[in-house]
Structure 1
Amino acid sequence: MRRKLAVALVMVTGASLLTACTADASPSAVSVAWAGAGKNSVRVTWKDSSAPNRITIEGVLSEGPSYVHYLPAEQENSWDIPTSAFPPDGNYRVVVTNGTTKEGLTGKPVKSPVFDTDGPVRPSSAFAVAQGRGVLIRWAVPTPPQDFTPHDPLDVEGTKAQKYVPLVGKPGGQPAPIGPGTTSARQVINSIKPPFLFQLRTENEWSSNVGGQVVGLTSSATVFVPPKAQYSLPLRIRGRVVLQETYCAAETDCALQQTTSAGIPLTVLTQVTPTARWSPVARGKTTAGGHYDIPVVTAGSRPYKVVAGQYAKPGVLTSESSSPAVFTRGVVRLLAGGYLGGNNKKRGEMVTVFARVAPAYTSTATLQLWNRQTRSWKSVKLVALRRGQAVFGFKIGAVGTYSYRWVLPQAAQGGRNMDGLTTPKLDLRIRP
């Protein structure tokens, strides 16, 4: 009896072990390869005994994507995973396990060799300069990062020269290719003017990148110049440069938007004579917000305008623009005026009153005296103005306080008239 029980236990135990081994059967020889010449998907293959399978993606030193796919037992041991299921710039492997959604997993997971999904190298440091009626754009290509899984099953064999597809976006349309992919680091775009947005698109089997961007900007300048300014003194030319750039959002048409920039070079131009060419008299740059404030020495009655020159720096190209011309009328400037020896004199002493002005022109000045009875200025003498100086000597026989002033006429400078000048009153005290 005991022998029969022992034999029975052995048979039961053996049957139990056989069932467990069958349940724990695992796939083997999991491998990955490109599914075709287009490299749009990864083909996973494995070996097992016609069992249902679950396929997942496991991240190596990074989080794995939430990709899960179940295959029935009658499905062949092969499955294509689209490359979009793999996050770029990471290391991954495919995991195959036996099991179903209802009964769960059986056996051990088996993993493919590790492979990377390094994305294309993004072009950088794009720089544009105007060239004729077009633009020359150059860019730099950084050194590819180190490959930590060399010769993995999905590495592309042969030359890995990266191509860049040039794109241009204009207001009212989306960025579109303007030529085939190139391995060059320069692109000439003929007959293009700002505003535009230039980009370089590059891609490999795993992802795509856009870089090497250049924003082509247009500019418009405003200017304020004082309507009058004294000769030989600085006048302040102020204004602002506003830029228009092409902004391209994803899956929408590009549009224009305003912006400002510091560092745009500016040139102040003037016409020395009415028929002369516009010539530079000062230079400056915009500050924060696109504002500028440039001093210019007044040299007579003249028009002024500000030109925002072409401006290029990495990623930016600005076209030239000019403000409207604004006229400033020059005013004769009083350099000195008063009485030689001071304004305190004895009765009957010689009094010398003078005025010195700029520019040093020749004309006739008028000396005026304040009349207390009529409370008005009366002209007392026409005095020659020679090279900007007027001098007149006289004597006063009555004690008292007197007030004189000079009225200086218009001056001609550069074929245009400047406003004359009336000096403040010059008080004179006559003592006994």
Structure 2
Amino acid sequence: MRKTLIATAALALLAGTQVPAWAATPTSPADVRVSWSDAASRLMRVTWTDDGAANKLRIEYQGSTVVGDWLTTTDNDFNHRWSVQTGKIARIAVVSTSTTGDSTPAYSPWFDTNVPAAPKLIAAVPQTDGSLRLSWSNSPLPADTTPNDPLDAPASSLGVGAKIWSILDDKEEYFPYKAGTTTAVVPARRHPQYTWVLATNEWGSAPSMRIDYTDMKFALSGVPRFGVFGKPMTISGLAGGLDCQFGGKCRIYPGSGVPLTMQTRASASKPWAYAGRYTSYDLVGFQAESVAVGGREYRFYAPSWKDANGDLIVTAQAISESRYIPTLANFAVVGFNVRTAQVGQLVKLTVDVRPGGTVKGALQRWDGKYWRSVLTVPITKGKAVMYVRAAGRGTTTSYRVAVPGMTYYGLPIQTTGSRSFTLSVR
């Protein structure tokens, strides 16, 4: 009787602690495999076998507690573009899941996520048609830290290419080249543009330093309305690369200095001639000095330019707009020998005007509205001395001497009036 009671109690206890089949956790998946559905777009395929349960997947990294978020699926063939940490060793974990919980995970083989090292830019040379010639050296292939893993692409798949972004158009383009390429010409696009050389593989890309390919711009802010023969004059302005931010806000950026050459010519039918070298700097721009020797056109030439300030800025050679600056005659001496004279007194008029041409000038007086010629003044080699009889008792009159246009070694000198001078008659 006692034995029977003990056996019955034991069976009852055992029956109370058993877990029914419908309450058990799912069986773990098996045979987890990874491959590429499309390596070019980094679309990874994960497959496994299980008993038909729903599943969750995530990416895990060797030696790291950082893991990806669980992704759910009801299919045993899962395609996904994973956001991976590059330069790591990773695997995919798969669990089966049900209302009672998750199975223990099953894992894919380990695979590395190494990306290639960035190309080293050697030169970026603007071309006359607006294209950009690039040359670079390729870095060694990345280390294979999990040899023959299922996601290893062949070494020949290591790519290189150029990516450009036209800032004002907000347009990006990519130009792929054969593996091993070290020089290429990027087609002309609207400037300014950013350009990179990229080394790519199945896990990502590494860019070279950025190239800012832009246009050289000139702002001539201080151009004299005219020059005076034999005297210096200054042309000021700013030259530099067009630096534009997204949205179209632009400025002229001269970096560490833009070398300039000033050029002049007498007319459109004449060739341009060298007239001095200058440098345009940030904030202060440039100031070009010249001596007025006749009316001429002026312009500035900037050669192909580059400036490194974290990124490489390059521009093609460029020429500013031209400005014509006329030249006036230079009256070194002009006027009467006295300021006050008696009626009928002879006063001496002296003229020394440069350049020393032989012309017929005119003594002019101011009538309150206009300068009116009263006497011819014969000027020989720029000089004249003549006597004028004072008239008009009780008057004070303003005078000047005007000379007609002339030339100096083929360069025009404009018709010029001298400063005014007065004569009071008593």
If the length of structure 2 is used for normalisation, what is the TM-score?
0.66
2:95 equivalent to 1:97: yes
Identical pairs, percent? 17
Cα separation, 1, equivalents of 2:5 and 2:177: 83
Unmatched tracts of structure 2, length 5 or more: none
The change in CA–CA distance for 1:163 and 1:379 in structure 2 (over 3 A counts) is same
Cα shift readout 1:299-329 (whole Å, capped 9, x = no counterpart) = 3112334545434455554344545655433
Partner residue, 1:57:
58
8 Å CA contact 2:29–2:96 kept in 1: the answer is no
Cα separation, 2, equivalents of 1:306 and 1:138: 30
SS in 1 for 2:133: strand
Cα separation, 1, equivalents of 2:317 and 2:406: 36
8 Å CA contact 2:341–2:390 kept in 1: the answer is no
- 1:163 aligns with one of 129, 152, 159: 159
By how many angstroms is 1:52 displaced?
3.4
SS in 1 for 2:134: strand
Cα shift readout 1:80-124 (whole Å, capped 9, x = no counterpart) = 543513435375543333433xx2424444566765534454557
The change in CA–CA distance for 1:140 and 1:295 in structure 2 (over 3 A counts) is farther
Cα shift readout 1:49-84 (whole Å, capped 9, x = no counterpart) = x5736232045554624522246xxxxxxx554351
2:173 equivalent to 1:175: yes
Cα separation, 1, equivalents of 2:267 and 2:370: 42
8 Å CA contact 2:220–2:235 kept in 1: the answer is no
SS in 1 for 2:402: strand
2:10 equivalent to 1:10: yes
8 Å CA contact 1:23–1:107 kept in 2: the answer is no
Write the letter of the residue equivalent to 1:55: K
The change in CA–CA distance for 1:28 and 1:327 in structure 2 (over 3 A counts) is closer
Cα separation, 2, equivalents of 1:384 and 1:35: 95
Cα shift readout 1:218-243 (whole Å, capped 9, x = no counterpart) = 67878796664433342547699996
- 1:262 aligns with one of 253, 256, 260: 253
By how many angstroms is 1:418 displaced?
1.4
SS in 1 for 2:159: coil
The change in CA–CA distance for 1:132 and 1:337 in structure 2 (over 3 A counts) is closer
By how many angstroms is 1:364 displaced?
4.6
Cα separation, 2, equivalents of 1:104 and 1:181: 54
Cα separation, 2, equivalents of 1:260 and 1:427: 51
Cα separation, 2, equivalents of 1:52 and 1:223: 76
Cα separation, 2, equivalents of 1:369 and 1:106: 110
Partner residue, 2:233:
234
Unmatched tracts of structure 1, length 5 or more: 72-78, 248-256
Which is worse superposed, 133-142 or 411-420?
A: 133-142
Cα separation, 1, equivalents of 2:328 and 2:319: 27
8 Å CA contact 1:96–1:109 kept in 2: the answer is yes
By how many angstroms is 1:165 displaced?
2.7
Write the letter of the residue equivalent to 1:175: E
Cα separation, 2, equivalents of 1:81 and 1:206: 18
Partner residue, 2:265:
271
Write the letter of the residue equivalent to 2:355: P
2:405 equivalent to 1:410: yes
The change in CA–CA distance for 1:194 and 1:317 in structure 2 (over 3 A counts) is farther
Cα RMSD, aligned residues only: 5.5
How many corresponding residue pairs? 402
